[in-house]
Structure 1
Amino acid sequence: MLNSIQKKVGIIYFTLIISFNFSSEYKCDYCKKNIIGKYYFLEQKKYHEECYNQNIVPKCNFCKESLLGRYVVNEDGNYHNDCYKNNILPKCSVCIRPLEKEYNYDAWDNKYHGYHSNGKGNCSSCSRIISERTTNGGYIHIDGRAICNFCNKDIVNTKLEIEDSRKRVLLLLEEIGFQSLSNEIPIILKNRNELSLLMPHSSMISGLTNLEHSYKENYLGQISDEKKEYEIFILDKLNPVDFDSILAHEYLHVWLYENNLNYNSQITEGFCNLARAYIYQKNLDKYSIIQLNKMNEDPDLDYGLGYRIANLCLDNYGWNEIIKLFENNKAHNCF
C-alpha cells in the first residue's frame, strides 16, 4: 500500500496593464466618463486610475490590501503572492515550510514535501511520516523497517507482554467459536530477516506457525501416538494491536492444523486473515481503521483477495456457519 498520495496546489496569475490615452474616445467602464491620460486596462475593460483604485482593484483576501500586478487566485479568493505562500498554502508537517505544487500526505493527514520520504520515510506500522514533529523521531530496525517512536514506545517485547496478548486473543477467538485453543504454544519474536529465512518466498512475512507432526504406524497402517507440536513466530517491534492481530491469524492456522483441514493458500490465508481483521474491528480506533483499509486494498492474491472473498463469505454466513463450512471441507463454496 502506498503511504502517500500526490496533490496539486493550483496557481493562476493575473496581469494588470497601465497605459496612456491622449484622446477622448475611451470611456471608463466604471463611471462611463471619458478617459484622458493614464488609465488601467483589466480584462478588456478600461478605468480611470481613481475609479480603478477605489472601486475595481481586487483586494487580497488575507491582508485586505489592494492587489497590483501579479497575484494568486484560488477557489477561496485572491491573494498577494507572499500572503498566499506564507498564510494560505498548507505547511509541511515535517519542516513547517509552505507546500507548493505537489506534496504528499500520510494516513494521518500529515502533509509533507516528497523529499522527506528520503529520510527514514513512513513508519512500517502506522504509516506516519517519521520526523521529530510528527512522531517524536524514529529509527531503522536491523531488518530495514522504519519504526516511529509513537509505535516503538508500546511494542510487545517481554514474556509478560506476549502472554497478555495471548490471553486477549484467545478470549476474542473463543467469542466467535474457536474453542480449546492451546495456551501453551511457544510464541517467539523474530525480525523480518529471520522470518524470511524460515519462509524465503514471503518477503513481507509478519508471522509463521510451524508444525512438527509425528506418529507411529503399525503393520496394518493404523496410526497411533500421534503428536502435533507448534511454534508461533511473530514479527518483533510490533505494537499490541498489530501483535494481537497477527497472533490471531496464526492461531487460526493452528485450528486448521488441529482439524486436519488442508486448503489452498488463498482459502487458508484469506480465512486466517478474518481473525486478524476481527482484532482491528474490536478496537476500531483510527489506527485499526487504517490497518483494515490496508487489508481491503492489499493486492496480494492470498492475503488480500483471499481475505476479501472470505470476508464476503463471513458477511453471508456469520462465524458459526463459516466454521462449519471449513470443518466439513466445504470452504470452497465461498471461493
Structure 2
Amino acid sequence: MTQNSTVIIIKYSFISNAISLFGNAMTNTKSLIFFTLLMQVLLVACSSTAHDRGSRSKPAICARCNNPIAGEYLVALNKAWHPRHFYCNACGENLQGSHFFEKNHRPYCESCFNKKFSPRCDVCRLPLNSKYTRDAWGYNFHSHHLSELETCFSCARLICKNITNGGKKYKDGRLICNICRKTSVNSPAQAAKHFSRIKKFMASHGLVLPNEKFPLQLVSMTVLRKSNPHFRDVAGRTEKALFEVNGVEKVRRIEKMQVLDGLPAEHFETILAHEFGHAWLFLNNFPVLDLQVEEGLCELFEYLWLIEQKSEIARFRMKKMRETKDKIYGGGFRKALAGYKKYGLKKLLLQVKKKKKF
C-alpha cells in the first residue's frame, strides 16, 4: 500500500525557559502572583495540546529500535520513529520526505518494494508494471510479450521456457507447446483407442454408429486445408459417399475420417466427438442440412463430451465454444445448445431431422 511521505514532526520545549524570560520582571508580590497564574495556564494548555496529539506521559518509543525518543520524532504508519531510523526495510535508504510503500507494517522504497513484493511476469519473471495481460489460464505477463511470442495451436498458451518449457513447430506450420506434446497422438493405434472412448460415450446418449469400419487417418494441416480451403484452422474432416440406383438412394457410407496429427489426447478426442457427429447424422439418414445447423449439432456433441471431462482444459475449450463469434460454428452451436436445454437431445435431433432447423 502506498503511503504519503508526509510525516508529523513533534518538538518538546520546556516551560522552564519562560522563567528566564520573566525572572527579571518579578520585583514585587503582585508580579509574582501574576507569573504564577500565567504558568498554571501554560501548563494546562500544554497538557491539553499533548493529549490532543495523542502523546502520553511516557516518551514515544521508536518503532525501529524500541528505545524512548527524546526530541524530534516522525509519525508514520501510525508509529513513532527516530528520523534516522525511518528507512527502507530492504536497502536502508532514508525515507524522510519521500514516498514509500508499506508491507507488514514496515516501510520500503518503491524500487525495493517492486523487487520483493510486486507480481512477477510469468514469461520473464520481472516485476509487472501497470500494463500487463492475463490470459485464459491465469498467467500474467507484460503485454509486449504478445507480439514477441507465438501461442500454442492447441491450448493458446504463450510458448516460452517459463510457461510451457518451450514447444515445437510442425512441418505444416503449427506450433505446439511442450505441455500439449506430452500426450500427442501420432499413431493409428493411439487414434483407434481414443475413438473407442468416444463411441462408448456417444452410445450412452443413444448415438450409435453402424458396425461398418472406415479409415481413421492422422493427417497434417496441409492435407486438411486442401480439402477445406475456406476453413484455415480446420482440425478434422469426415468424407461421406452416397450411392443411388436410378435416382433412388441405396447406400450411405463413410469413406474416411481425418484428424490432425500431433494434437494432445484431450484435443484429439474433442475433434473425434465433432467428426462422430457428422458420421452419425449422415448414416442415420438425416437430410442435407444448412451448414450452420449441421456444424452446430456436431459442436453440441463435442460440448457434451467436454462436460463429462471435468478438467481445466475442458472448461477452457467449452468457454471458447460459447464465446466464439463465428456465425457457422459459434452461432450454430449456441442455437443447438439452446434447443438441447429446451427439448433434450433426442427430441432436438428428431426435430432437426424433420424440419431441417433447430
SS at match of 1:301: coil
Q: Deviations over 1:176-214 (max 9, x none)?
A: 111234462212222223211111111121111112323
Instruction: Tell me the CA shift for residue 114 of structure 1.
Output: 2.6
Instruction: Name which of 290, 300, 306 aligns with 2:326.
Output: 300
- Conserved 8 A contact 1:241-1:279: no
* TM-score between both structures, scaled by the size of structure 1: 0.77
Find the aligned partners of 1:110 and 1:138 in 2 and give their Cα distance: 17
Equivalences for residues 250-265 of structure 1 within 5 A: 250-258=275-283, 259-265=285-291
CA distance in 2: counterparts of 1:77 and 1:145, whole angstroms:
50
1:39 corresponding residue in structure 2: none
Q: Structure 1 residues 64 and 322, CA, compared in 2 at 3 Å: closer, same or farther?
A: farther
Shift in alpha-carbon separation, 1:73–1:196, aligned structure 2, 3 A: farther
Corresponding residue number in structure 1 for 2:151:
122
1:1-335 alignment runs, 5 A limit: 14=4, 16=6, 30=53, 49-52=72-75, 55=80, 67-68=95-96, 69-72=98-101, 79-182=108-211, 184-217=213-246, 221=247, 223=248, 225-258=250-283, 259-327=285-353, 329-332=354-357, 334=358
Alpha-carbon distance in 2 for matches of 1:275, 1:61: 60
| Deviation digits for residues 137-195 of structure 1 (CA, Å, limit 9, x no counterpart) | 11222333321111112111111111001101111111111123446221222222321
Q: CA deviation at 1:128?
A: 2.1
SS of equivalent residue, structure 2 residue 342: helix
Q: Distance in 1 between matches of 2:234 and 2:263?
A: 13
Structure 1 residue 122, shift from structure 2 partner: 2.2
Question: What 5-or-longer segments of structure 1 have no aligned partner?
Answer: 1-10, 20-26, 33-47
State the distance in 1 between where 2:336 and 2:102 align: 50
Q: 1:6 corresponds to which residue?
A: none
- How many residues are treated as equivalent by the alignment? 300
Q: Which amino acid is 2:206 matched to? A: G
CA contact (8 A) 2:252 2:282 kept: no
Query: Retained in 2: the 8 A contact 1:190–1:233?
Result: yes
Higher relative contact order (CA 8 A, sep 6+): 1
Q: Which has the higher strand share?
A: 1
Identity of aligned pairs, percent? Answer: 26
For residues 15 and 284 of structure 1, the distance between their equivalents in structure 2, rounded to whole angstroms, comes to 51
CA 247–77 in structure 1, closer or farther in 2 if over 3 Å, else same: farther
- Between the aligned partners of 1:249 and 1:124, the Cα distance in structure 2 is 18
1:293 positional shift: 0.6
Note closer, same or farther for the CA distance 1:51–1:326 as it changes in structure 2 (3 Å cut). Answer: closer
Deviation at 1:121, TM superposition (A): 2.3
Task: Tell me, in whole angstroms, the C-alpha distance in 2 between the residues paired with 1:331 and 1:215.
Answer: 22
Alpha-carbon distance in 2 for matches of 1:73, 1:50: 19
Farther off after superposition, 106-115 or 91-100:
106-115
- Contact 2:237 2:259 survives alignment (8 Å): yes
| RMSD over aligned Cα atoms | 3.5
Instruction: Specify the alignment match of 1:38 in structure 2.
Output: none
Give the Cα separation in 1 of the matches to 2:212 and 2:334.
29
Instruction: Tell me the secondary structure at the aligned position of residue 150 of structure 1.
Output: helix
Structure 2 gap segments, 5+ residues each: 10-48, 56-70
Structure 1 residues 131, 30: CA separation in 2 closer, same or farther (over 3 Å shift)? same
The normalised TM-score by structure 2 is: 0.72
